Structure 1
Amino acid sequence: MLPVNHYINEFYLTAAEVNAQEEMPLSRLVTLIIDTATAHANSLGFGYAHMMETNTSWVLSRLSIDLRRMPGVNRKYMLVTWVDNVNRLYSDRMFELQDGQTGEVIGWAHTTWMAIDMDSRRPTDLLVHKALVDVIQSREFGGEKSGRLLPLRDDSEGYSYTFKVSDIDVNRHVTTRRYIDLITDLWSLDKYTECRVARFEIAFKHEARYAEEAIALKAPHQCPGDVYDTEIRVGDTACALARIEFVER
């Protein structure tokens, strides 16, 4: 039995939630990671309602995911999460993805969060939240943290997209889900039939808004393997930088 400082989110992947490969879409997995982090923070007293008392809000800054395989249809899964580290500006939260029927660990995720002032949009001091510091846990983590991500060249391959109503969250900014889907759509359906995502990492740099026109870009990364650097850009401003690694099925 896990201690209270760990949180488990159990879910079942239905046919309505999967992609053409009968697997969980990357954007759905990221959404579940965010929802699980939110639920754990709420249960421990430093969630959305508590942060709004001081006019602050949690913001996801960085994310990395390592996958042995993607969750498949009609199976139960579990996300286990815990707080790994807290300093003045950032909190690191880890995740373990398990097959709920076999107990096999099929993936890990590392997330970095900030709490920002809702008016100034500037980071606030996390160390004032004693409840957050008190739940730091040491647990084996089988993934890797994010590396350095850089903007792409202007001649990189990509496409344009104008943000719609369904892309906007409660803060009237573009959702994380939309950024992930824009990156996923840089490749054809045949690519995902032949390959799966083994690693994904993203850094959020700037908030995009409704009706803004973005460009999604990709370029091969300068390393062995099927690895690409990607960027979501509005005008000359990078909103998100990401790296994705594929492996053959």
Structure 2
Amino acid sequence: MNPKLYSYEFYLTASEVNAQREMPLSRLVTTLIDTATGHANIIGIGFDRMIREGISWVLSRLTIDIDAPVTVNRTYRMETWIESVSRLFSERGFEMTDAETGHTVMRAHSTWMAVNMTTRRPGDLTPIFEGLDVISDRRYAGDKGGKLLPSHTPERESTYRFAVSDIDVNRHVTTRRYIDLIVDMWPLDYYDTMRPSRFELAFKHEARYDEEAVVIAASHEGSPEVNDVEIRVNSTSCCLARLRFTARD
């Protein structure tokens, strides 16, 4: 086994797709997280090891480029590798291909940090990676994106109160729920003619059970195809996102 590259193959069933018969954005990100988790477990930096150190992995930043729709009843192969590690952050790349054709359908770049489970402050990754030869020379081929900023002139707004099913093992709101709230800012018929082709996400603050979130969205610099989204709790920004849409063929 090559510890510097992890590969996972899966079949996309009808129970996992949306109204357009494609993998939802939140399911795609969940698959990225699951693939990263599988790799981390194999090389000895997974959940059990982190908990022994009193820390836990937390996704900090994510950029996804979707080159082609990920459609139902097809098999896909997801690959992941670690690009860099510092005391506070680790960068990880992803690439997903159609297993039958070999064509790349998605690329992603992610930044992870460790959080101390007691203090909720950043943890030190140095002892976790000590002695491990797991850093790959492979690099994410796309644009990692720039700084995301909150919108001061929202065009759409909604509210949501986080429930039990929205809470993860770290007892804060799941990445999946944040992304679903972002996606739901546009009506169903919009997705019939447009599809997400690029998604950027940056986490700023934890949201928790029974807190009420405000979701606001606005076009980015006047472009109807690119939109900025912010999720706030008590006027505190929890996450920022940028979503680019592309017209369907």
TM range (shorter): over 0.9
User: Does the 8 A contact of 1:59 with 1:116 survive in 2?
Assistant: yes
Quote the Cα distance in structure 2 between the aligned partners of 1:186 and 1:224. Answer: 16
Matched position secondary structure for 1:216: strand
The answer as to 2:229 corresponding to 1:193 is: no
Q: Which residue of 2 aligns with 1:66?
A: 65
Moved more, 159-168 or 132-141: 132-141
Q: Which residue of 1 aligns with 2:34?
A: 35
Quote the Cα distance in structure 2 between the aligned partners of 1:166 and 1:180. Answer: 14
User: Does the 8 A contact of 1:45 with 1:131 survive in 2?
Assistant: no
TM-score, normalised by the number of residues in structure 1: 0.95
Mapping of residues 120-159 of structure 1, within 5 Å: 120-130=119-129, 134-153=133-152, 155-159=154-158
User: Does the 8 A contact of 1:46 with 1:131 survive in 2?
Assistant: no
Matched position secondary structure for 1:187: coil
**Aligned AA (2:71):** G
Q: Using the aligned pairs only, state the percent identity.
A: 54
The answer as to 2:242 corresponding to 1:240 is: no
Could you list the runs of 5+ residues in structure 1 that have no partner in the other structure? none
Q: Which residue of 2 aligns with 1:7?
A: 6
Mapping of residues 93-242 of structure 1, within 5 Å: 93-130=92-129, 134-153=133-152, 155-222=154-221, 224=223, 226-242=225-241
Could you list the runs of 5+ residues in structure 2 that have no partner in the other structure? none
Q: Which residue of 1 aligns with 2:19?
A: 20
> How much does 1:143 deviate?
2.1
Number of residue pairs aligned between Structure 1 and Structure 2: 248
Q: Which residue of 1 aligns with 2:46?
A: 47
> How much does 1:39 deviate?
0.7
Matched position secondary structure for 2:213: strand
Matched position secondary structure for 1:129: helix
**Aligned AA (1:32):** T
User: Does the 8 A contact of 2:154 with 2:218 survive in 1?
Assistant: no
TM-score, normalised by the number of residues in structure 2: 0.95
